[in-house]
Amino acid sequence: MLGAVTAISESVHFIGAFDPQIRTFDIIMKTANGSSYNSYLVRGSEGVAVMDTVKKEFSGAFFKRLELLCDYDEIKYIVLHHLEPDHSGALIELMARAPQAKLIISGRAVMMLKGLVKTDIPFEVANTGKVISLGDKTIEFLSTPFLHWPDTMSSYLHEEKILFSGDVFGSHYYDERLFDDEVGDFSYAFKYYYDHIMRPFKQYVLQALELYKRFDISLIAPLHGPVLRSEPQFYIDKYAEWSSEEKFRKHQFGKKMLSVFYMSSYDNTQKMAEKIMEGADSVEGIVASMYDLASLEERNMIDLLEESDGIIVGSPTINGDAVKPAWDLLACMAYLESVGKVGASFGSYGWTGEAPEMLHDRMRWLKFRLPVAPLKIKLIPTEAELESCFTFGVEVAEITMGKIVEMEI
Amino acid sequence: MVTIFLQNDNIRVKVPVDTTLRDVALRTGASMEFGCRVGDCTTCVAHVRSGMELLNTKTDKELRALEMLGGDVSQLRLMCQCRVLCEEGEVVISYGLQC
């Protein structure tokens, strides 16, 4: 297939590489038929721009395709929309072959570039509004951070209305027919990619979509999977829908959702959970609910966590640790946005009682707001202790509703 | 004591002179994000809504990092580089998407 370099448009060609053998991507994603590392070459009247490279092991295919289209001394710019190694793997070799080329990266990519190449190489920083010219072709940059790394940016080729979206709108789906209207049904891979890569950054997705609105887009060229040319707005609308949907309908009426997740060995942590929920639910505007982690499937955990404004996790301490389902629950946050969510932890214990602090610490690293100290009670809660659980629930709920926390350090 | 109001988290915290804002984030459980923590990556960029004069001045290194973000950076600070300089007053900060 290397003899045929696919034209994306009049001046843009695909020079990426296909990886039909890969089955697990970035540890967290599965792909049933492989993926692609998309890279593009843009030709203008005064030179060439290479938009991203490929994973290092696939450099051979990338350079062969590139050489079919241009000489290295024609390359005026190398643009890296995102520095992850699957897109920057051929960078050092490309810069060695085209030393006159200017490397364009985002401001947030500067430190990452140094870590990646372990040497000083010249570069220019692009923020929203920066424009580069290839003579009769103009490329404008857009800062679209956190999609899915802090460094991510996008760019737009004005004359051909092409959006180079970085990882946004990508799919781990291998099909050398390349275009969305020619490949097989990749809709599941498109959604799966969104769920695993973009869902934790929904607010940033919406921010990027606002920037994209400035442009008339006739084709989207992402960094993985099919090139989207049949109806780009369809894919943009899907991202908008997934990033703004709220399953918890009461949010629409100004209510906030607080979920108490727990596991209990001898009903003691459960009794705490019930009282905490009762306290939380007594706060105006809060709808509190409780869930036994012993019977909650992962996909339901993810949905509940996503919709919850406040999340309280309870676990007894067994062998000096919180129980596995509590850790499994918090592991689901890898798929979600935690910024702004209020967290808290609690548990009954017999001997050492580390679990609530351990959960609290884990939630801190997950960037929850944790204004209330963990609550732990030795064995069977007394009436007075259950009252402290009620107060704990009230306090977390009030903060979830916007009460200002006063502290001194 | 200077009061620091962390807008995103609705936390109002009193701190003594010389406290770093990184320490404030750590000890209050605020949701600021940090990356390199040495003033290179700009992940912890924040908008100082008021009270800039109560903080240490930007070093050349911090200024260079902020300028890479583009636009007007006069009210922006990197939280990992900030320290409270004064004995009293209020600093109001927002961060992340509200930056």
The string of pLDDT tens digits covering residues A146-176 is 998 888 999 999 999 999 999 999 999 999 9
Decide if B48 contacts B93 (C-beta within 8 A): yes
Contacts of B99 in chain A (CB under 8 A): none
Nearest CB partner across the interface for A408, out of B13, B36, B42 = B13
Q: CA-CA distance, A58 to A38, in Å (whole number)?
A: 11
Cis, bond preceding A148 (omega within 30 deg of 0): yes
Nearest Cα neighbor of B2 from B18, A98, B10, A71 is: B18
Backbone angles phi, psi at A348, to 5 degrees: -90, 150
CA distances (Å), origin A218, targets A173, A210, A213, A255 = 22, 17, 12, 40
Give the per-residue pLDDT at B25. Answer: 87
Cβ distance of A371 and B68 shorter than 8 Å: no
List of chain A residues whose C-beta atoms are within 8 Å of the C-beta of residue B40? 110-111
What pLDDT does A121 receive?
Answer: 84
Q: Does B97 touch chain A (CB under 8 A)?
A: yes
Task: Tell me if chain B has a CB within 8 Å of the CB of A150.
Answer: yes
Q: What pLDDT does B98 receive?
A: 61
A402 chain-B contacts, CB cut-off 8 A: 10
Q: Give, for A87, the enclosing helix (H) or strand (E).
A: helix A85-88
| Nearest to A314, CA basis, from A302, A325, A298, A303 | A325
Question: What burial class does residue A97 get, using C-beta atoms within 10 Å of its C-beta: 0-12 exposed, 13-18 middle, 19+ buried?
Answer: middle
A148: tokens are 């899915």
Interface check for A129 against chain B (CB to CB < 8 A): the answer is: yes
Q: Do A407 and B14 touch (CB under 8 A)?
A: yes
- Enumerate the β-bridge partners of residue A406: B12
Please tell me the predicted confidence (pLDDT) of residue A364: 86
Question: Counting runs of H as helices and runs of E as strands, what totals does chain A give?
Answer: 12, 21
CA distance A45 to chain B (A): 29
Q: Give the C-alpha distances (Å, rounded to integers) separating A307 from A246, A261, A335, A359.
A: 7, 14, 13, 20
Q: Are strands A40-44 and A47-51 parallel, antiparallel or unpaired?
A: antiparallel
Say how many Å lie between the first and final Cα of chain B, rounded: 25
Q: What SS3 state is found at A353?
A: coil
DSSP code for A242: H
CA distance A164 to A88: 16
Give me the residues of chain A with pLDDT under 70, please.
Answer: 1-3, 247-250, 252
Q: Output the six-digit token pair for A407.
A: 């502290």
List of residues 6+ apart from A247 with CB closer than 8 A: A303, A306, A307
Count of residues for chain B?
A: 99
Q: Which of B10, B30, B42 sits opposite A404 (nearest CB)?
A: B10
Q: Does A125 touch chain B (CB under 8 A)?
A: yes
Tell me the two tokens of residue A304. 């509940």
CB-based contact (8 Å) between B90 and chain A?
no
ipTM tops 0.85:
yes
Q: What is the layout of strands, in order, in the sheet containing A153-157?
A: A131-133, A138-143, A153-157, A162-166, A219-222
Predicted pLDDT of residue A177: 96
Q: Is B37 helix (H, G, I), strand (E, B) or coil?
A: coil
CB-count exposure of residue A299 (10 Å: 0-12, 13-18, 19+): exposed
One DSSP character per residue, B10-28 reads TEEEEE-TT-BHHHHHHHH
Q: What is the per-residue pLDDT for B31?
A: 78
Tell me what pLDDT residue B99 has: 60
Mean pLDDT, residues B55-62 taken together: 94
Looking at residue A1, its pLDDT comes to 47
Q: Are A83 and A148 in contact (CB under 8 A)?
A: no
Cα four-point dihedral sign A390, A345, A335, A51:
positive
